[in-house]
């Protein structure tokens, strides 16, 4: 089987419009969960979110493109541009047919759908916008990336709620490792700040009224965010032959289903995903130096994930650094795994575990070593990044620092 190199990273979120803008804030735990630009009318039960306020689509796209693409697809394309540019890869000739695009999103194009419902049910107007379908389809980001770079191999979108983009990266990783693809653009995107979707999350009563505090004893729920993360994955030997700079390596992928409850997590499912990822990478638990946790800030998730980590890592849990960067960039739903995969690779590159923001102590019900207050500088060689979704769908990625 082929080793799989990461040769490009792209990131857009509340922390900034590219990796260079985002990483310093994430590294030092500077939260970008702020008061919502539109608090709702009547006001939502929560007033904070991680909006990508610096992202202006008109700075990146012509007007005709904006007619066809929703915000989540625009975010995906911009993150992909950064990743491809850093990689220096050119999808020409045979490589175009041997490359793919696999993206993840949970909710797709919410704004066009919402506008259509307003016209139908509020304005009694039976005519909705003619481009509603291409704007709302969940594969719009993957299709745009494929079109923009001339990628003619497998291109599709995975939708598994908050595990969507970990599943997409894992699928791309397996396809490159098995020789089905030479290269892939993989990741995910999400744009959640549409009123209807916010009202739906409000009704769930899992969104915190203040910036989220993962693993804190006084945590009150998650904070929603938007953004995109993209990676260029490449056959190791192909990357070396063309002189690409290798940023890191995807080493293993594991996924599982709880088969337990549609919204309530259990310990066994997340533990299985981490164990399968380790086996896929050919590693023992002792090889892991850092965990980027799913860490949503809900009472149920954080306790369950902590127990799952201890079930997998045993006594090493006491010294294994864990952090949730959702406390900085918010919970970006289907984009979470991709954004956090980028962050995890950067953590390995820089030898630093970013701190979990907004907290001053750790819940005794979460018996893990949570990094908070200050970043932890250490020799980090190998890491796991977790995502766990409603429906009991779990996905974990194992990544290595280049040179490990």
Active-site amino acid positions: 162, 294, 331
Pairing of strands 155-158, 99-104: parallel
For residues 321 and 344, what is the distance between their CA atoms, to the nearest angstrom?
Answer: 12
Pairing of strands 376-377, 369-370: unpaired
Distance CA 30, CA 378 (A): 20
Closest C-alpha to 387, from 332, 349, 346, 345? 332
Strand boundaries in 83-220, DSSP class E: 99-104, 155-158, 183-190
How many CB atoms neighbour CB 68 within 10 A?
14
Return the closest-CA partner of residue 364 out of 219, 220, 215, 264. 215
Nearest alpha-carbon partner for 189 in 47, 59, 10, 403: 10
Strand positions, DSSP E, 73-166: 99-104, 155-158
The rounded distance, in Å, linking the Cα atoms of 324 and 301 is: 12
Strand order in the sheet with 248-257: 155-158, 99-104, 183-190, 227-235, 4-12, 248-257, 393-401, 382-389, 290-292, 321-323, 369-370
Contacts of 88 (CB under 8 A, 6+ apart): 7, 8, 242, 244, 245
Q: Distance (Å, rounded) from C-alpha 71 to C-alpha 83?
A: 19
């Amino acid at each position: 089987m082929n080793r799989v190199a990461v040769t490009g990273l792209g990131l857009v979120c509340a922390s900034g419009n590219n990796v260079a803008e985002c990483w310093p804030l994430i590294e030092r735990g500077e939260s970008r969960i702020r008061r919502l630009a539109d608090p709702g009318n009547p006001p939502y039960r929560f007033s904070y979110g991680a909006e990508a306020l610096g992202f202006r689509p008109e700075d990146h796209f012509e007007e005709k493109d904006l007619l066809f693409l929703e915000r989540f697809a625009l975010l995906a394309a911009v993150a992909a541009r950064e990743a491809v540019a850093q990689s220096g890869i050119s999808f020409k000739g045979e490589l175009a047919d041997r490359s793919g695009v696999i993206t993840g999103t949970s909710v797709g194009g919410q704004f066009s759908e919402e506008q259509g419902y307003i016209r139908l049910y509020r304005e009694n107007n039976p005519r909705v916008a003619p481009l509603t379908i291409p704007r709302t389809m969940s594969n719009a980001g993957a299709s745009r990336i494929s079109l923009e770079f001339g990628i003619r191999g497998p291109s599709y979108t995975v939708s598994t709620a908050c595990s969507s983009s970990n599943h997409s990266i894992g699928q791309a990783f397996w396809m490159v490792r098995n020789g089905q693809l030479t290269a892939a653009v993989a990741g995910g995107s999400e744009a959640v700040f549409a009123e209807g979707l916010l009202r739906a999350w409000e009704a769930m009563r899992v969104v915190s009224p203040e910036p989220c505090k993962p693993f804190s004893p006084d945590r009150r729920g998650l904070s929603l965010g938007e953004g995109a993360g993209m990676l260029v994955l490449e056959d190791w030997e192909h990357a070396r032959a063309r002189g690409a700079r290798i940023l890191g390596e995807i080493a293993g992928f594991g996924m599982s289903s709880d088969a337990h409850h549609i919204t309530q997590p259990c310990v066994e499912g997340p533990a299985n995903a981490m164990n399968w990822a380790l086996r896929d990478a050919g590693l023992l638990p002792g090889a892991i130096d850092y965990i980027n946790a799913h860490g949503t800030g809900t009472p149920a998730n954080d306790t369950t994930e902590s127990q799952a980590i201890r079930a997998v890592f045993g006594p090493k849990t006491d010294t294994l650094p864990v952090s949730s960067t959702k406390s900085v960039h918010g919970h970006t739903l289907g984009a979470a795994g991709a954004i956090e995969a980028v962050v995890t690779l950067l953590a390995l590159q820089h030898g630093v575990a970013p701190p979990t923001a907004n907290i001053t102590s750790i819940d005794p019900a979460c018996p893990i070593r949570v990094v908070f207050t200050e970043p932890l500088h250490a020799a980090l060689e190998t890491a796991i990044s977790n995502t766990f979704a409603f429906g009991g769908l779990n996905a974990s990625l194992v990544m290595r620092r280049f040179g490990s």
